[in-house]
Amino acid sequence: HSLPRRSALLADVPAIAETIPGFDYSSWNGIMTPLGVPRLTLDRLSAALRKSMARADVRDGMAQQAADVEVLSSEAFRQVVQSTVKQNTGLVKALGLKGE
């Protein structure tokens, strides 16, 4: 798999980074809101998400899909999004891809 470390779900499967140091190309899912949503609303949404993702049945369902679950803070998720955009922008430029 393409995570930078071994997955708890696939502990016997080496991460690509074990062969290619520095390799990290992970997919992720997240919830985004429009700018200007009140902090209280964001905090409630975050708490509800954390509560849902802590449920054993939800975690088991995600594990059946080979999905590692990690609930991030808004700031940590923002950093993931920014990093992914930067990584993919560099890749698109390096490959000389053009939009149509």
pTM of the model: 0.70
How many whole angstroms separate alpha carbon 1 and alpha carbon 18?
A: 11
Instruction: Give the rounded percent of residues in the chain with a pLDDT score beyond 90.
Output: 52
Cα radius of gyration (the chain): 17
Q: What is the pLDDT of residue 68?
A: 81
Looking at the chain, the number of H-run helices and the number of E-run strands are 3, 0
Q: What is the pLDDT of residue 37?
A: 96
Q: What is the pLDDT of residue 38?
A: 97
How many whole angstroms separate alpha carbon 37 and alpha carbon 74?
A: 12
State pLDDT tens for residues 47-79.
999 999 999 999 999 988 878 888 998 899 999
Distance from the first to the final alpha carbon of the chain: 31
Could you tell me if 30 and 42 are in contact, meaning their C-beta atoms sit under 8 angstroms apart?
Answer: no
**2 pLDDT above the threshold of 70:** no
